[in-house]
């Protein structure tokens, strides 16, 4: 995936994004990090094709990307399995194959035993697992995630970090993960991109050679988190001046 000279403004307003140029290799896990309002979600929406850039271009070599948002947005009248099946239907999977495919995807996120439960019967973390399975059902090689765990408690979020890392390794998806949580980015990302605010630009990058066996409380994550936090605070101070 390549982003070349991307800029975005709404109407005659100030630039929201400015001069973003970026290459993301297939299979990478990239975290986009920055203060609230820096344009992270706008950038994600442009990559997804939900918004058009004012200038520049985005090329997703594998075609369109799947998107997962903070709100699971499951249909409440459908079971977990049927929610996933709906995505399979929209993809053109024949009716006779959908149930088995949905169960396989729910099993991938360790939720096959909840296939016949409706969203109100599931915890917040379980609903997000269903949303992840539904995103994977679109069979896109690129998965865009916009703060999908922000509303969850710390323990549930940590468990889902492990689930997401396992799914990423198992499926080989390219993941672009938006967050404002520094520790979350340090825990998950192979690459961590820090955005400035007003306008949003990529101002720093960290690369982690090996992402195995990291935990959110590990010393390595803490050290990286402290370094990123210092940079983020500097960006916030610069924009507040």
Sequence-distant (6+) residues with CB within 8 A of 6 are 17, 19, 20, 21, 43, 46, 53, 55, 56, 57, 58
- Residues 57, 148, single domain; the answer is yes
Element (H, E) at 142: strand 142-146
- Residues 20, 53, single domain; the answer is yes
- Residues 134, 147, single domain; the answer is no
* Domain, as residue range, for 17: 2-65+141-240
**pLDDT exceeds 70 at position 213:** no
Domain limit, last residue, from 119, 139, 159: 139
Instruction: Determine the Cα–Cα distance for residues 177 and 174; give it in Å rounded to an integer.
Output: 10
- Residues 95, 202, single domain; the answer is no
Q: Given CA atoms 120, 122, 126, 131 in this order, what sign does their dihedral have?
A: negative
Domain limit, last residue, from 139, 160, 183: 139
Query: Is the overall model pTM greater than 0.95, yes or no?
Result: no
Q: Where residue 153 sits, what CATH number does that domain have?
A: 3.40.50.300
- Residues 225, 108, single domain; the answer is no
CA-to-CA separations, 198 to 8, 10, 37, in angstroms, rounded:
11, 13, 8
- Residues 118, 108, single domain; the answer is yes
- Residues 134, 148, single domain; the answer is no
Q: Which pLDDT tens digit goes with each residue over 147-171?
A: 988 888 888 888 889 889 988 999 9
pLDDT score at 34: 84
Higher pLDDT, 37 or 200: 200
Task: Give the percent of the chain with pLDDT over 90.
Answer: 49
pLDDT score at 240: 66
- Residues 110, 171, single domain; the answer is no
- Residues 56, 86, single domain; the answer is no
Please tell me the total count of domains within the chain.
2
- Residues 36, 149, single domain; the answer is yes
- Residues 47, 152, single domain; the answer is yes
- Residues 79, 190, single domain; the answer is no
């Amino acid at each position: 995936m390549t982003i070349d000279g991307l800029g975005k403004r709404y109407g005659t307003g100030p630039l929201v994004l400015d001069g973003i140029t970026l290459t993301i290799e297939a299979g990478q896990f990239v975290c986009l990090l920055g203060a609230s309002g820096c344009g992270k979600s706008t950038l994600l929406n442009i990559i997804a094709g939900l918004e058009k850039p004012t200038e520049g271009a985005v090329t997703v070599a594998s075609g369109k990307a799947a998107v997962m948002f903070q709100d699971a947005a499951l249909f409440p009248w459908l079971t977990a399995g049927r929610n996933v099946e709906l995505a399979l239907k929209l993809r053109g999977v024949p009716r006779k194959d959908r149930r088995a495919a949905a169960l396989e995807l729910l099993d991938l996120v360790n939720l096959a035993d909840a296939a016949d439960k409706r969203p109100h019967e599931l915890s917040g973390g379980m609903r997000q697992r269903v949303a992840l399975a539904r995103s994977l059902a679109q069979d896109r090689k690129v998965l865009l995630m916009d703060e999908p765990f922000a509303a969850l408690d710390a323990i549930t979020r940590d468990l889902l970090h492990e689930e997401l890392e396992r799914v990423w390794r198992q499926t080989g998806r390219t993941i672009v993960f938006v967050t404002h949580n520094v520790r979350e980015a340090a825990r998950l990302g192979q690459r961590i991109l820090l955005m400035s605010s007003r306008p949003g630009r990529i101002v720093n990058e960290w690369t982690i050679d090996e992402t195995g066996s990291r935990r959110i409380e590990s010393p390595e994550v803490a050290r990286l988190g402290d370094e990123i936090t210092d940079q983020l605070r500097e960006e916030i101070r610069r924009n507040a001046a």
